[in-house]
Amino acid sequence: MEKKDHIISILVHNKPDVLARVAGTLGGKGYNIDSLCVNTTTQNDISKIVMTTSGSQSTITRIENQLQRLVDVISVDDLTNVESIHREMVLVRLNLTAENSEAVKNAVDMNKWKVIVSGDTYVIIEITGDKRQVDFSLARLEPLGITDITRTGLVALTLED
């Protein structure tokens, strides 16, 4: 069966160890987590976990069912096939040298990247977008001399309830 990336949104009771339970359920059953974002919702006692993983539809159904078994899990939704928007963010640090600073400046202007801080020898750029956009920007930054990046997991929200 066809393997696909899936975005799973999980509402959980904000209880001790809930993240360990979710992650452990997947790891222990041999499923991979590609990215993970966790934070509270507008309700303090409820958190949302957005997770990306890949697999065939039957694998994903199995993952959803395993997660549903957890006492602290309220709901599990696969957002892949519903209308939803996706964003992730990456912070990129570039080394500035005599040779590249002109090229960096041009690239930043041309791509409308957001520079958060810059010093004599470095610049930190923030890129936000869906996975494709972020990958695209990173590919353009690559030749300019990236020294480090930090990438968040994907967050996603459905258009309607």
Task: Catalog residues that contact other proteins under the rule CB under 8 A.
Answer: 13, 16-17, 20-21, 24-25, 28, 58, 61-62, 65-66, 68-72
CB nearer to other proteins: pick between 1 and 110: 1
| Distance in Å from the first CA to the final CA of the chain | 30
Q: d(Cα 75, Cα 94) in Å, to the nearest integer?
A: 41
CB nearer to other proteins: pick between 65 and 81: 65
CB nearer to other proteins: pick between 16 and 119: 16
CB of 54 to other proteins, least distance (A): 19
Q: 63 with 9: CB under 8 angstroms?
A: no
CB nearer to other proteins: pick between 70 and 138: 70
Q: d(Cα 36, Cα 101) in Å, to the nearest integer?
A: 34
CB of 31 to other proteins, least distance (A): 13
CB of 67 to other proteins, least distance (A): 9
CB nearer to other proteins: pick between 42 and 58: 58
**Helix 101-111 and helix 131-145, axial crossing angle in degrees, nearest 10:** 160
CB of 124 to other proteins, least distance (A): 35
Q: d(Cα 119, Cα 39) in Å, to the nearest integer?
A: 32
CB of 65 to other proteins, least distance (A): 4
Q: Give start and end residues of each alpha helix (H) in the chain.
A: 18-28, 57-68, 101-111, 131-145
Q: Which two tokens stand for residue 150?
A: 């930090």
Beta bridge partners of 94: 123, 146
